[in-house]
Amino acid sequence: MGRYVVRRLLQMIPVFIGATFLIFLMVYALGDPVVGLFGDRAPDPATAARLRAEFNLDQPVWRQYLLYLGQILTGDFGTAFNGQPVIELMARSFPISFRLMLVALAFEIVLGITLGVISGLRRGGGVDTTVLLLTLVVIAIPTFVLGTTLQFFLGVELAWIDPAVGPQPGLDELIVPGLILALVSLAYVTRLTRTSVAENRRADYIRTAVAKGLPRRRITTHHLLRNSLIPVVTYLGADIGTLMAGAIVTERIFNIQGVGYQLYQGILRQNSPTVVGFVTVLVLIFLLANLFVDLLYAVLDPRIRYA
Amino acid sequence: MPEQRDTPGPGPLAAREEAAAEAMTVSSSPETARSLGSDAWHDLRRNPIFIVSGLLILFLVVIAIHPSLIATRDPLFCELGRSLDGPAPGHWFGFDAQGCDVYTRTVYGARASIAVGVCATLGVALIGAVVGGLAGFYGGIWDSLLSRTTDIFFAIPLILGAIVFLSMITLTGIWPVVLVIAALGWPQIARIARGAVITAKQHDYVQAARALGAGNGRMLLRHILPNAVAPVIVMSTIMLGTFIALEATLSFLGVGLQPPTVSWGVDISAASDGMQFRNAPHILLYPAAALSVTVLAFIMMGDAVRDALDPKLR
Amino acid sequence: MSHDTGATDAAEVGADDAGGGGPLLAVRDLAVEFRTREGTARAVNGVSYCVDSGETLAVLGESGSGKSVTAQAIMGILDTPPGRVAAGRVLFRGRDLLTAPEEERRRLRGERMAMIFQDALSSLNPVLSVGYQLGEMFRVHRGASRREARERAVDLMERVRIPAARERVNDYPHQFSGGMRQRIMIAMALALEPDLIIADEPTTALDVTVQAQVMELLAELQREFHMGLILITHDLGVVADVADRIAVMYAGRIVETAPVKELYAAPAHPYTKGLLESIPRLDHKGKELYAIQGLPPSLTALPSGCSFHPRCPLATERCTTERPPLHPVLDASEAPVAGRGSACHYWKETLHG
């Protein structure tokens, strides 16, 4: 197991470098970081040239990237548009987005799995059809439409919640945004759980469990769920990365000052260090989440043994 | 299973793929492929979900090509004086903030949304099928190289990559959106295609054909392609719906399509902006409904085709 | 459902001989249907048989003959829907299980009657250790503690002669060989020393050499615990050594029932005869091997009259219209042979021909 983890971590390195280089390329080859620094004003050619030299922008892209990589390894992600180090923005915004993601994940686990198990056990019934239709509707309506309308009804019309979230939001303020962020994944979790439960229910080992004279409840909890939830748990693990990326929409709607917000500000102001820095960290989280999922697989399913 | 896979994990969409990937085990020999195919067609023709979504998609495509068939006005003709007015005779959907006819704009919006969806999906399917197919077919070093490349693209969340790319370029219109979705969205299809090709390669009749001296080209065309196509098509259909939604999301974030392009995403984001819809819900309702119904139609179509092809659910 | 009084009579004669009192298990006129796309499939059409303690009844038939479905109906593990018991009774020590409440049936399963399945790999839960799955019997039915259950699991594994049982008790099913897995299935069925065991093709998935070992073990344990055993199989070779009586099934009906030696010596139904003749034999070397013509009938559209008539070499006009009851088989002196019955109008001709 230990050797497997090391091997997978090593395999992650080229993927990490490749993915971040792609992002780097997009930002530094397509955009002009120096223009971004000046905002709407036209840059003075002499200053621009000095800045180019200072930020290694006169070097070929691959060297720029290597220099950048060296910098971030020492924790230096550069400076944001307002003069703050990017790493400080990260320290402030990642905890917020992480909380938001936890709320979303909780919704997926509690609501998604419950609905999925119920509809999987009653496949073809009224509850199942209703749940299935609901998931389709949720998947079909874009998150930002649901988000803005829910914000309008709950926040403005009914005034149940504050339509905008404070700069240091607590978990309670993040419930509605978390639900919005979770919605699409929630629908997929429900459908996946449903399929998995319905499939496993017809498995031979369930028939054996019945023939052993086990009570129905025990068969469901100890035999059926244990097997059915393996793909669901791994989906949830991998979803951590997707949720962090999806937060850009939710945070925009509710004005939450998390990762998505900072990233959006960075893009808006053409601040390259912010954009590249945040995306790099997100890619890293995404890769680590995937590794975590693979390890989870081994823990949950004894048939998988890593060499 | 991780032990058979060198890639760094199933990824967030792995489970979504999984269901579609199941379809790749569908046909085990040319005979059963044919009978399963016709069986699936037999099932589909009687499936109301397939019929409804099929007709809907047909309608949407016709409207996207010839919007003037059902909308006679000019979508860019607006009267500021009628800004946010409700339904009026001849303008049953009311007017938007610019005083444009919402009905006309909703009809014309189909063109951009469907064009982005179809073109992006074609691009994704083509890149994914070629990369995944070659990786699966040749194996060895090619597989390692192509799979690792797939992983790299897979590691960049689609929406994140699209936002960064689109915000950095100055071009507007549907093509940059299509380009970035195609360039970043293909890894899922590649993984499915690779799996399907590897599965097909292991079939006894393919082994037999190889033993009898069938060439690589013939093997690919006659034996492997037919088996790999179904899962790719199913996955592409489902993705088409999500790409249309993605275009709208990108427009909402201000990096997708921009006015004067007429698209559902542009209209929805205009309506959502500053909650303009609070006094005139119709400006959000109609484009959002059109978009949702379209996405739903493609997802249901993909679902129906997959269910028909999946003998496990029979 | 029509009632084959002949069938019940003929079958019960054997049981009385074997047990003396009421039989351990008596199935009466059992009918099971499945709803399918093509219509209602009649998987079991009035099956009657009985088994007594210490007795082995072999139920022989091709796949689709209804032998497994009958067993599932006895155990109460039929998939409902699509399956449904349409008629009949299942008497376990005189108590009709089909009318018994589900909770009572559940308590009987595992405790008094147990089942061994064909494919041990898919029939054992892949994510639970074999020790857990064995111990679960004691925990659920006997309220044993975790530690106790583990000890009993080791005992059971030793009893079915799994080497290094104590070390392997925490292993998972996929870590065992096919034969060892089937031993674990047997151990699980035997755990609570039930009165009746139904073994559904217990050796079909195994290598021939392992088959014999597993069958031997099963027979030995059955003698030791004096259990009733229903052995479901399509393999005539397996039956000969271990069974006391045989019931041959075809298209959801019992077509012949007989003590094992007599059936082998002189079958009284053309189907049984066909099965026996299709076994390769050394003394018939060089001759063409016999094969029953045609295919088993579709269960959604059973042939009229005798279901076997389209494939039967002896079939006449009568066989297409009149369904033969299970006739008691008489010996040369016209006295009924104990436990023998044949559902053929021409059983006499078959027996002597």
DSSP letters along A254-300, please?
HT--SHHHHHHHHHHTT-HHHHHHHHHHHHHHHHHHHHHHHHHHHHH
Residue A74 belongs to some domain of the structure: no
Interchain proximity B245–A248, CB inside 8 Å: no
Interchain proximity C141–A213, CB inside 8 Å: yes
| Chain B contact set for A291 (CB, 8 A) | 8-9
Residue B192 belongs to some domain of the structure: yes
Partner residues linked to C27 by β-bridges: C49, C90
Residue B30: band (very low, low, confident or very high) from pLDDT cuts 50, 70, 90: very low
Residue B196 has, within 13 A of its CA and on its CB side, a CA count of 36
Q: Is A139 on the interface with B (CB under 8 A)?
A: yes
- Cα–Cα nearest to A209, from C185, C214, C174: C185
CB atoms within 10 A of CB B312: 12
Report whether B6 contacts A11 (CB < 8 A).
yes
Minimal-distance CA residue of chain B relative to A19: B152
The parent domain of residue B259 ranges over: 58-67+102-301
Residue A295, token pair as written in the block: 């390890």
Interface list for B 119-148 with A (CB within 8 A): 148
| Chain A contact set for C111 (CB, 8 A) | 213
Report whether C154 contacts C236 (CB < 8 A).
no
Q: Which residues of chain A have pLDDT under 50?
A: 307
| Chain C contact set for A301 (CB, 8 A) | 126-127
| Chain A contact set for B252 (CB, 8 A) | 142, 144, 249
Three-class DSSP category at B12: coil
Alpha-carbon distance C27 to B198, whole Å? 50
- Model confidence at B19: pLDDT above 80: no
- Model confidence at B22: pLDDT above 50: no
The CATH number given to whatever domain includes residue A227 is 1.10.3720.10
Report whether A209 contacts A179 (CB < 8 A).
no
Residue A159 has, within 13 A of its CA and on its CB side, a CA count of 0
The parent domain of residue A98 ranges over: 94-300
Residue B263 belongs to some domain of the structure: yes
Report whether A192 contacts B15 (CB < 8 A).
yes
Touching subunits for chain A (3+ Cβ pairs under 8 A): B, C
Alpha-carbon distance B13 to B154, whole Å? 10
Residue A79 belongs to some domain of the structure: no
DSSP label of C269 = S
Interface list for B 197-256 with A (CB within 8 A): 241, 245, 248-249, 252-253, 255
Residue A39 belongs to some domain of the structure: no
Alpha-carbon distance B113 to B107, whole Å? 11
CB atoms within 10 A of CB B26: 23
Residue B72 burial by Cβ neighbours in a 10 Å radius (0-12, 13-18, 19+): exposed
Residue B265 belongs to some domain of the structure: yes
- Integer-rounded Cα Rg, in Å, for chain B is 22
Q: What is the pLDDT of residue B270?
A: 80
Number of Cβ pairs < 8 A linking chain A and chain C = 74
DSSP label of B88 = B
Alpha-carbon distance C137 to C153, whole Å? 9
DSSP H helical ranges for chain B: 14-22, 30-46, 48-65, 102-138, 140-154, 158-168, 174-185, 187-202, 204-211, 216-218, 225-252, 264-272, 282-309
Q: What is the pLDDT of residue A88?
A: 84
User: A193 vs chain C: nearest CA distance in angstroms?
Assistant: 17
Minimal-distance CA residue of chain C relative to A211: C109
Residue B26: band (very low, low, confident or very high) from pLDDT cuts 50, 70, 90: very low
- Residue among B12, B275, B288 whose CB faces A145 most closely: B288
User: How many independent structural domains does chain B possess?
Assistant: 1
Interchain proximity B11–A231, CB inside 8 Å: no
Interchain proximity A294–B2, CB inside 8 Å: yes
Chain-centre distance for alpha carbon C220: 18
Please name the residue that has the structure tokens 């290597």: A66
Alpha-carbon distance B137 to C188, whole Å? 45
| Chain A contact set for B272 (CB, 8 A) | 144-145, 148
Residue A250, token pair as written in the block: 């939710």
Residue B264 belongs to some domain of the structure: yes
- Residue among A151, A234, A242 whose CB faces B10 most closely: A234
Q: What is the pLDDT of residue A206?
A: 92
Interchain proximity A211–C109, CB inside 8 Å: yes
Alpha-carbon distance B144 to C119, whole Å? 37
Entry field: residues in chain C: 353
User: B195 vs chain A: nearest CA distance in angstroms?
Assistant: 18
Interface test with A, best of B165, B252, B307 (most A CBs within 10 A): B252
CATH-assigned architecture of domain C10-112+194-281+290-352: 3-Layer(aba) Sandwich (3.40)
Touching subunits for chain B (3+ Cβ pairs under 8 A): A
pLDDT in tens, B115-130: 889 999 999 999 998 9
User: How many independent structural domains does chain A possess?
Assistant: 1
Cis peptide before B10 (omega within 30 of 0): no
Q: Which helix (H) or strand (E) holds A43?
A: none
Interchain proximity B167–A304, CB inside 8 Å: no
Contacts of B5 by beta carbon, 8 Å cutoff, 6+ apart? none
Q: What is the pLDDT along chain C (353 residues), one digit of tens a residue?
A: 444 444 444 444 344 433 345 788 999 999 999 887 778 888 888 898 889 998 999 998 888 888 889 999 999 888 877 888 888 889 988 888 888 898 999 999 988 999 999 888 899 999 899 999 999 999 999 888 999 999 999 999 998 888 888 999 999 998 998 888 988 999 999 888 899 999 998 888 778 888 888 888 888 888 888 899 999 988 887 788 888 899 999 988 999 999 988 888 888 888 988 888 887 777 767 777 777 888 888 888 888 888 888 888 888 888 888 888 888 888 778 778 888 888 888 888 888 76
Alpha-carbon distance A306 to C319, whole Å? 63
Chain-centre distance for alpha carbon A233: 15
Q: How far is CA A161 from CA A98, A180, B273, in A?
A: 21, 14, 19
Residue B173 belongs to some domain of the structure: yes
Minimal-distance CA residue of chain B relative to A230: B15
The CATH number given to whatever domain includes residue B135 is 1.10.3720.10
DSSP label of C325 = P
ipTM at complex level: 0.84
Q: What is the pLDDT of residue B275?
A: 64
Interface list for A 187-206 with B (CB within 8 A): 188, 192, 195, 199
- Residue among B9, B16, B245 whose CB faces A188 most closely: B16
Residue ranges covered by each domain of chain C: 10-112+194-281+290-352, 113-193
Interface test with B, best of A6, A7, A15 (most B CBs within 10 A): A15
This prediction's pTM: 0.81
